Amino acid sequence: MRRTGLVLLALAVAVAAAAPLLAPHDPGRGYDDYLHAPPTALHVRDADGRWRWPFFHPLRLVDRLESRYEEDTSREVALKLFARGSLVAEQDESAGPWLPLGADSFGRDLYSRILYGARVSLGVALVAVAGSLLIGLVVGGVSGYFGGALDELLMRLAEFVVVLPTVYLVLALRSVLPLVLTPGQVFALMVGIFTLVGWPYVARGVRGIVAVERRRDYAEAARAAGASPVRILCRNILPATVGHLGIQATLLLPAFILAEATLSFVGVGFFDPTPTWGTMLHDAANVSTLGQFPWMLAPAFAIFIVVLGVNLVVQGSRTRSVAGSIDLAAR
Amino acid sequence: MHWPVRWKVVRRSLRESVVFLAIGLLAAAGVYAVSITIRPFLDGVETKAHAAPPGSGALPAGGNLVSSIRGEPRTFNRYADQTSAVETITFLLHSRLVRVNRKTMEIEPMLAEGWTASKDNLAYTIRLRRGVRFSDGAPFASADVVFAFRAIYRKDKTGAYESPIADSMQVAGKPLDVKALDENTVQIRFPSAYGPGMRILDNLPIYPRHLLEQSLNDGTFDAAWGVSTPPAKMAGLGPFVLKEYQAGQRLVFDRNPRYWRKDAAGRPLPYLDRITIEILADQNAELLRLQSGQLDCIQSEVRPEDYKALKEAATKGKIRLYDLGTGLDADALWFNLRADAPIARGRRPWLQNVELRRAIAESVDRTRFTNTVFFGAGVPTFGPVSPGNRIWFDPQVPTPKFDRASAARRLASIGLTKKNAEGILLDSAGAPVQFTLLTQKGNTALERGAAALREQLRAIGVVMDVVPLQVGTLGGRLESGDLEAAYYRFLTSDVDPAASMDLWRSSGGFHVWNPRQAKPATEWEGLLDDLIARQVSTVDPAQRKRLFGQVQRIFAEHIPILYFAAPRVYVATSARVLNATPVLLRPVVLWSADTLAMQAAPRSNR
Amino acid sequence: MSLLRLFARRAVFGLLLVLTVSSGAVLLTRLAPDNEAAELMASGASRETIERERARHGFDRPVLEQYIAWLSHAARLDFGQSVMFGRPVADLVRQRAANTALLALAALALATLVGIPLGVVSGSRRSGPLPALIRAVSLVCLSLPPLLTSLVLVFVAARTGWFPIGGMTSIEASDAGWLPWVRDVAWHVPLPAIALAIPMAAVLERLQSQATGETLREPFMLAALARGVRRPRLVWRDGFKASIRPVASIYGLIVGGLLSGSFVVEIVTSWPGLGRLMFDGLRARDLYLVAGCAAAGSVFLAAGSLLSDLALAFADPRLRGEERR
């Protein structure tokens, strides 16, 4: 189970990294005559019943205001491998674009946007996880090693943050900061906020481990030999925390992905035209859109895959399996 | 021996992952399949509203109309507040001397039975209707009209007018003079010639002197009729009275049995027994309820992206969709042309140059814009008056053609020729040609429009960063002048240009590109001031149209504001509403609440 | 005795939490950039009116002064006036908090009724198709956060009409009486409650499964079996009682999760709850409203922790008896 989960996660990261190769279209390119177009159906048998290489009929606009389309059965466009700079694309774009998951309200290909969106959504989450791990490690290490009043203070602070519901905390922090930002600034801001909210989860565990390891014989021996605390921490004790860090990383990742999706969904995260899973759900969330153009919910499936992967990894680890998922669900 | 063990593990992982993905896909497919198959069966369950019996003539009396507003009223005192919630409520509770029939755009006598103008058109002697009573029984007389004027012209400690209505009830900056000639006659004197004439009285609902005179004398008029006022203490001349206000939930209005108006057959109006206005802050929720038939009408038009869902509901017979043609309001893009703007002092003088605006006007393919933003349901516009304003739109005004080459030439003429590797234009200092556009967050038409413009401008090498702001923050930035460019839609209150004097006049607060000028900053703005002043003080309609045509020509030449497209307006009401006359100005249906009627069919909840 | 001490300790912690959170909210909102009179500007109020409103709500005083004023009023349970709505914050918050509580309780009840029994079933059997299926479904549901479930459910409702797509009440039921109102709300609750309950049920199922599995391996179970107690009774009565402990211990965390999840669900389904109110307040920089919402939210949190501790103490006598030495 764990392996399946890791495979899924690795797949998600690989897809995000290889987005330019896999996406048949530019994520910002809007096809004016294909607003709210439904997914283009692929056929393998033509009108005579013969088996063919996959092809599709380009869509024709029937009513622009109602966004109604029909297949133009008089034309066929085949798919090709390694065409036009991507893995799979239509042979020739002039007849009409291939929209495997349909188009959004600007006529942009949803599939390409999900792929490129993975970059932003996963990117924010991964960098924030790294940040949380780093800060959590430092704070937890210092707190566990030196103990005393500093330890009390830091751990109380960490507990306070952990008790609060993540979504509200993140929302409050984001809302009080200027709402006027470029995508790059939004990225940095989100990473900052998530790191601020995520380090306590890491720090608590690290502190516990460090506090225990500190009293072990080998640490005492190192201290007696005159090694500085920093050296002892880094060389001897912190390696013991790697397991915990791994678990926390897998728990924080989906929490941050969901947090980004939630923030963008309510409009205080990324905004148009940056493709992220959250902004795409924001576009889809208009109720008449949902009822009429359900393919716009495709990013939800992408989020589901990543979260499932994480849960598989967590459940597959013998220890902390259930506690881990509690932690996850409570964020 | 690792190999066999690995293979087993791999097989198991594969099996598991297949199982999980299969479950997920199955679930999704199941949901979708169920939803598609069930729908046809459900159609038969819903109650269909019956079409109104043709030609029967007599509208049924009674019924409860349910509508909604998006925001809560802060007060019931229209003289102290002009938010849309109060505006809508005022249409229900009060009457005016004269009103603009929003269907025909002509003025109609209401409380004023008739009037005669003096030879110089400066004084109007108005005959008031006799036997009219307020909803609490007190008689209506000329003293109430005099009181109304006194109330709106009240001044605060600094000597400025307190009431927001005062602005729209002045001519050339001076108030009107009102006196009662007798119980039923009033004379209104204009300080100078006023083209629209009696039309100005459409702004003034008549309030009861006997209930409010005390607070006016005390100086507490502003606080009178606040939201916690018991309904029994308020009275009006309108078709309805406020029965109940449940804060945060709804307002309930009952029929006013003393309403003065009757229909053509002599039947007393209103036809309806009750109007309930729900307070729904969420636009989605409002739309859903309209679609399902829980709401009978809403205060705004149908957005293009909601059209399809409503059309479906209309074909099922649940709602009626009205196509009102081209709207009056197009989206407006303007640059900050103030002399003290940061961008003026900065290193981007081209931002305030008229050639930039002319280039933009030529480089936007308005047909494509309309297709993208309004799904094809719109008309290209080039000036401040939309083609939907048939009375005042001048079709002879020259309009720029879509010509990117010409746009490039114009940009070159102000020194923007070099392009960098990504195709962005560079100015003389080598910096990319880029500016920030503020717009309103949450308004999908504006957000879509800004996105479409951003894409089209990129094609000529100009980068436009769109920053959506909350409406309040946007207002603050517009006030303080802290902006480079803005994109917004102004809702006009009347087709007559005299209703937007603050936009045309250089001293006006709504002269958005450079408001509140002490004296005209440019020659053409001075010319504009002169033309608009003449237009407003001319009585001859043909001459007014000619003068206003010249105003539109100046706009076309100097392009202080860029316009792109005006949407087609659709209004939806439930199928039970009879005799509705939806119009292009808000409130789209409730403006004629006294002539609305309802069918007797039961309300469906689904 | 010690139950009382537990209660007292938790109550103090709760009070401290409420204080810290609302103070944080006040200071955070006050120190935020962008105009707090934004709402008024939007309505076209004149400059004088804006200044007057600002003074009335205390925005023209320095931060600390306003905070202390708010604190002293809050101690008397006067939470100020909302700028956005023009009504006392206490009224608004009370109404919305009740709605959120209703939703959360419905979701919790649903999750418990579905998750716990399924957990017992899957935990009591080591192998076989049923436990495997339950585990698989549980894992899938664990990966469906409320954001996704609410969107999908709204789509299903939009197409099939089985449930109303949003809101808490229909328009008719307003003055029809108490019972129709209850029926109306009961018809609107399932959609958001199910959306919230799906991941929660999965969590409870997993937890219960692990707890049941562990409990069944205890020696006393084997002894009871040997004595002749029938297996189903063993699983459902004795095993169940013993495995309540781990589940009860996390109810506090679950409340936090419910609050988080309900925020998104409220927005998607237009449920008039606390989350929506706080979000609107934050956007409009409505200080007193945000503080009031934060206070209400932290009250929920504290109550949740308290209940979970009480449940734990109730379920595990060992925790109670420590003082009776």
| Interface residue C137 vs chain B (CB under 8 A) | yes
Which residues of chain C make contact with A291, given a CB cutoff of 8 A?
Answer: 155, 158-159
In this structure, is residue B200 part of a structural domain? yes
DSSP label of A38: P
Give how far the C-alpha of residue A155 lies from the chain's centroid of Cα atoms, to the nearest Å. Answer: 29
Q: Which of C42, C86, C161 sits opposite B472 (nearest CB)?
A: C42
Residue numbers of B between 52 and 71 with CB closer than 8 Å to A? none
- Contact predicate B379/B565, CB 8 Å: yes
Does A287 contact B20 at a Cβ distance shorter than 8 Å? no
| Interface residue A107 vs chain B (CB under 8 A) | yes
B331-335 and B561-563 as β-strands: parallel, antiparallel, unpaired? antiparallel
Give the domain CATH number at B70: 3.40.190.10
Q: Which of A64, A273, A288 sits opposite B371 (nearest CB)?
A: A64
In this structure, is residue B576 part of a structural domain? yes
Does A297 contact C21 at a Cβ distance shorter than 8 Å? no
Chain A residue nearest residue C282, CA to CA: A175
| Interface residue B482 vs chain A (CB under 8 A) | no
Chain B residue nearest residue A1, CA to CA: B13
Share of chain B above pLDDT 70, in %: 90
| Interface residue C186 vs chain B (CB under 8 A) | no
| Interface residue B451 vs chain A (CB under 8 A) | yes
- Tokens 């939803």 sit on residue: B35
Q: Residue A94 has what pLDDT? A: 76
Q: Which of B477-486, C34-43, C107-116, C267-276 is predicted with the least confidence, judged by mean pLDDT? A: C34-43
Which residues of chain C make contact with B66, given a CB cutoff of 8 A?
Answer: 171
- Contact predicate C79/C90, CB 8 Å: yes
Tokens of A174: 């984001």
Q: Cα–Cα distance between A271 and A223 in angstroms, integer? A: 53
pLDDT tens across C238-297, in order? 767 767 777 777 777 788 788 888 888 998 888 888 888 888 888 777 778 888 888 888
Q: Which of A227-241, B212-226, B260-274 is predicted with the least confidence, judged by mean pLDDT? A: A227-241
Q: Residue C110 has what pLDDT? A: 93
In this structure, is residue B236 part of a structural domain? yes
* Residue B176 pLDDT greater than 70, yes or no: yes
| Helices marked H in B128-197 | 142-152, 165-168
| Interface residue C267 vs chain A (CB under 8 A) | yes
Rg, chain A, Cα only: 25
pLDDT band at B41 (very low <50, low <70, confident <90, very high): very low
Q: Cα–Cα distance between B40 and B35 in angstroms, integer? A: 10
pLDDT band at B525 (very low <50, low <70, confident <90, very high): very high
Chain B residue nearest residue C268, CA to CA: B284
Question: Residue B268: beta bridge partners?
Answer: B262
Q: What is the DSSP string of B500-511?
A: GHHHHSTTSTT-
| Interface residue C31 vs chain A (CB under 8 A) | yes
| Interface residue A94 vs chain B (CB under 8 A) | no
Angle, CA A173 vertex, CA A170 and CA A177 arms, to 5°: 135
| Interface residue A179 vs chain B (CB under 8 A) | yes
Q: Which of B306, B377, B451 sits opposite A106 (nearest CB)?
A: B451
How close B375 gets to chain A, by Cα (Å)? 5
* Residue B599 pLDDT greater than 60, yes or no: yes
pLDDT tens across A80-108, in order? 777 776 777 776 677 788 888 999 888 99
Q: Cα–Cα distance between C215 and C235 in angstroms, integer? A: 9
Name the neighbours of A, counting chains with at least 3 Cβ pairs within 8 A: B, C
Distances (CA, A) of A28 to A25, A104, A114, A230, B440: 9, 11, 12, 49, 22
Chain B residue nearest residue A5, CA to CA: B17
Q: Residue A323 has what pLDDT? A: 53
| Interface residue B157 vs chain C (CB under 8 A) | no
Q: Three-state DSSP class for B462?
A: coil
Tell me how many residue pairs between chain A and chain C have CB atoms under 8 A apart: 141
pLDDT band at B593 (very low <50, low <70, confident <90, very high): very high
Chain C residue nearest residue B251, CA to CA: C174
* Residue A156 pLDDT greater than 60, yes or no: yes
Which residues of chain A make contact with B469, given a CB cutoff of 8 A?
Answer: 179-180
* Residue C54 pLDDT greater than 80, yes or no: no
| Interface residue C167 vs chain B (CB under 8 A) | yes
In this structure, is residue B3 part of a structural domain? no
Q: What is the DSSP string of B87-108?
A: HHHHHHH--BSEEEETTTTEEE
Q: Residue C325 has what pLDDT? A: 39
pLDDT band at C82 (very low <50, low <70, confident <90, very high): confident
User: Where is mean pLDDT largest: A228-232, B302-306, C105-109?
Assistant: C105-109
In this structure, is residue B443 part of a structural domain? no
Name the neighbours of C, counting chains with at least 3 Cβ pairs within 8 A: A, B
pLDDT tens across B384-406, in order? 999 999 999 999 999 999 999 99
Which residues of chain C make contact with B20, given a CB cutoff of 8 A?
Answer: 136, 139-140
Tokens of B180: 């009662």
* Residue B357 pLDDT greater than 90, yes or no: yes
Does C171 contact B276 at a Cβ distance shorter than 8 Å? yes
Closest residue by Cα to residue B579 from B43, B53, B128: B53
How close A43 gets to chain C, by Cα (Å)? 27
**Once rounded to an integer, what is the mean pLDDT over residues B465-492?**
85
DSSP label of B296: S
| Interface residue A224 vs chain B (CB under 8 A) | no
| Interface residue C204 vs chain B (CB under 8 A) | no
Q: Residue B48 has what pLDDT? A: 38
For chain A, what's the residue count? 331
| Interface residue C270 vs chain B (CB under 8 A) | yes
Closest residue by Cα to residue C262 from C239, C241, C281, C279: C279
pLDDT tens across B57-86, in order? 678 888 899 999 988 888 899 998 888 889
Secondary structure of A87-110 in HEC code, one letter for each residue: EEEECCCCCCCCCCCCECCCCEEH
Q: What is the DSSP string of B156-177?
A: -TTSSB--THHHHTEETTEE-E
Q: Three-state DSSP class for C228?
A: coil
Does A289 contact B305 at a Cβ distance shorter than 8 Å? yes
For chain C, what's the residue count? 325
Calculate the average pLDDT of chain C.
79
Q: Cα–Cα distance between B31 and A286 in angstroms, integer? A: 20
Residue numbers of B between 195 and 234 with CB closer than 8 Å to C? 227
| Interface residue B307 vs chain A (CB under 8 A) | yes
Residue numbers of C between 189 and 228 with CB closer than 8 Å to A? 199-200, 202-203, 206-207, 210
| Interface residue C239 vs chain A (CB under 8 A) | no
Q: Residue B206 has what pLDDT? A: 94
* Residue B43 pLDDT greater than 60, yes or no: no
Q: Cα–Cα distance between B359 and B404 in angstroms, integer? A: 8
pLDDT tens across A180-214, in order? 667 888 899 899 999 999 999 888 888 888 888 87
| Interface residue B557 vs chain A (CB under 8 A) | no
User: Where is mean pLDDT largest: A229-238, A278-287, B551-560, B592-601?
Assistant: B551-560
Which residues of chain C make contact with A329, given a CB cutoff of 8 A?
Answer: 142, 199-200, 202-203, 254, 257
Number of domains making up chain B: 1
Q: Model ipTM?
A: 0.84
In this structure, is residue B44 part of a structural domain? yes
pTM: 0.84
- Contact predicate C226/C282, CB 8 Å: no
Q: Residue C177 has what pLDDT? A: 72
For chain C, the farthest-separated pair of C-alpha atoms sits apart, in whole angstroms, at: 86
Q: Which residue has the higher pLDDT, C133 or B15?
A: C133
**What is chain A's percent helix, strand, coil content, to nearest 5?**
65, 10, 25
Chain A residue nearest residue B10, CA to CA: A3
pLDDT tens across B207-232, in order? 999 999 999 998 888 888 988 899 99
In this structure, is residue B362 part of a structural domain? no
Residue numbers of A between 42 and 71 with CB closer than 8 Å to B? 64-67
How close C238 gets to chain B, by Cα (Å)? 33
In this structure, is residue B470 part of a structural domain? no
Chain C residue nearest residue A168, CA to CA: C260
Does C42 contact B475 at a Cβ distance shorter than 8 Å? yes
* Residue A169 pLDDT greater than 80, yes or no: yes
Tokens of A285: 């969330």
Does B372 contact A4 at a Cβ distance shorter than 8 Å? no
**Once rounded to an integer, what is the mean pLDDT over residues B11-22?**
66
Q: Cα–Cα distance between B270 and C130 in angstroms, integer? A: 66
What's the one-letter identity of residue C30? Answer: R
* Residue B49 pLDDT greater than 50, yes or no: no
Q: Residue B56 has what pLDDT? A: 46
**Once rounded to an integer, what is the mean pLDDT over residues B542-571?**
94
Does B24 contact C174 at a Cβ distance shorter than 8 Å? no
Q: Cα–Cα distance between B307 and B316 in angstroms, integer? A: 14
Q: Three-state DSSP class for C242?
A: helix
Q: Which domain holds residue B273?
A: 16-326+568-598
Q: Which of B6-20, B447-461, C190-204 is predicted with the least confidence, judged by mean pLDDT? A: B6-20
Which residues of chain A make contact with C104, given a CB cutoff of 8 A?
Answer: none
User: Where is mean pLDDT largest: A166-170, B28-32, B550-554?
Assistant: B550-554
Chain A residue nearest residue C196, CA to CA: A329
Q: Which of A273-287, B120-134, B435-449, C223-237 is predicted with the least confidence, judged by mean pLDDT? A: C223-237
pLDDT tens across B533-545, in order? 999 988 889 999 9
